[in-house]
Structure 1
Amino acid sequence: MSQISPVSIEALKALPAAPKLGNPAAVGLAGFGLTTMMLQLHNLGLAGIGPVIWLGLIFGGLAQMIAGLQEHKMGNNFGYAAFTSYGCFWLALAGILIGNKYDVFPSSTTDVGWFLVLWTVFSLILWVGALRVSKAMAACFTALVAGFVLLDLAHFGYPAATYAAGWVLMVCAGLAWYMMAHVILGDLFGRDVLPVGKPVL
């Protein structure tokens, strides 16, 4: 059996340490939370649609999708699927809103309803995965699924459900920000400043 010589061991010790990598979840959660919050401010009648579109294109869309692609490099399939997919969700939603404004591939209320139903099913799959991540993640996805269901109902004959969805998804966005703060502050302080709880499953 071949052995590493003392010279080789010393050479390995002399190699520079691998650079510390940032956690892409910080940006992914930030983009998801902020854009979700902005949309709910619009749904509750407190803000116009303009900021929703721009955030959907840039922060919730592009930045979150990039964060998801970085999660791929970290070997995190859950983060990879979630951030990349919801980044695409925001880009698609912004595209739908722009398309309806300028009559380019316009989408009816029912069309958007089916769009949301499919995202509800997708979110249910990730909700199961979230149960294996942490209690905070499970709560965030529970609120997300509940919010999607309410938006589904709003697009299929129960428009009043939009108001309820707004508040439920505000909670979802707040939980996303809480987990973002958990990642950032935990790194800066070197300890778990904001606990997220053990996995449910």
Structure 2
Amino acid sequence: MSTIKLGNPAVVGLAGFGLTTLLLQFHNLGWCGLGPVVAMGFIFGGLTQLIAGFLEQKTGNNFGFAAFTTYGAFWIGLGVIWILNYFNVYTSSTTDVGFYLIAFTLLTLIFLAATLFIHKAMTITFATLSVGFILLDLVHFGFPELKTLAAIILIVCAMSAWYMLAGIVLNDVAGREILKMGKSYMKKG
């Protein structure tokens, strides 16, 4: 049996998820342009989360595998939509993007249900992501006044992801629990 300690791929997946989510909300609030979001969407949100997901699969973590690869694909897909729109190739309307978001909203709700068996920090992250997606769905289907509220909720989501990242890293290097994740809402079995 191997005694080699492996790194937890969730740390880079959560870092990429949190950073790209945060940057997109800065853009949605009008604080920055789309350039940094596209760049980080392809690299840190997209590629890094895909890699983290594939590594989660090797550890046997189906949730991490599914979630990180799903959101990695989300960011790459969104980046492709933005690039295609920019160059007027297969342009997507606001409602086209809305349908894209609805599909990911539905996947997120499945993940939210699964988080009830993991821990409170994960549930908070996916609950805020679910609410944020629903609000962005509504933004794309005629309720633009909800954009600021969606951005604020998704900033909380990004910070929640980074809280889990900080907990994994700090708890590991300290050799004790510094940041608590909270017990699951539902018991397994």
Question: What band does the TM-score fall into relative to the shorter chain?
Answer: over 0.9
Hey, what does 2:110 align to over in structure 1?
A: 125
**1:114 and 1:58 mapped to 2: Cα distance?**
24
Measured in 1, the distance between the counterparts of 2:4 and 2:120 equals 31
Q: Is residue 2:83 matched to residue 1:75? A: no
2:184 aligns with 199
Deviation string 1:108-131 (CA, Å, 9 cap, x unpaired) is 101000000111111000000011
Q: Which residue of 2 aligns with 1:35?
A: 20
The one-letter code of the counterpart of 2:70 is S
Name segments (4+ residues, structure 1) moved above 3 Å.
none
Aligned match of 1:114 = 99
Q: Give the count of matched residue pairs.
A: 186
Match of 1:53 among 17, 33, 38: 38
Structure 2 residue runs of 5 or longer lacking an equivalent are none
**Alignment-mate amino acid for residue 17 of structure 2:** F
> What residue number does 1:165 align with?
150
TM-score using structure 2 length: 0.97
Q: What whole-Å deviation, never above 9, does each CA across 1:17-74 have from its counterpart, x for those lacking one?
A: 4321000000110000000000000000000000000000000000011000000000
Equivalent residue for 1:148, pick from 133, 144, 150 = 133
Measure, in 2, the Cα distance between the counterparts of 1:65 and 1:110. 27
What is the SS of the residue equivalent to 1:168? helix
* DSSP-derived class of the 1:160 partner: helix
Q: C-alpha separation between the residues in 1 aligned to 2:97 and 2:24? A: 15
Per-residue CA distance 1:122-160 (angstroms, 9 max, x = gap): 100000001111001001100000000000000000011
Matched, 1:187 2:164: no
Stretches of structure 1 lacking an aligned partner (at least 5 in a row): 1-14
Aligned-residue identity in percent:
54
Once the two structures are TM-superposed, the CA of residue 104 in structure 1 deviates from its matched residue by 1.5
The normalised TM-score by structure 1 is 0.91
Give the corresponding residue for 1:19. Answer: 4
Residue 105 of structure 1, CA deviation: 1.4
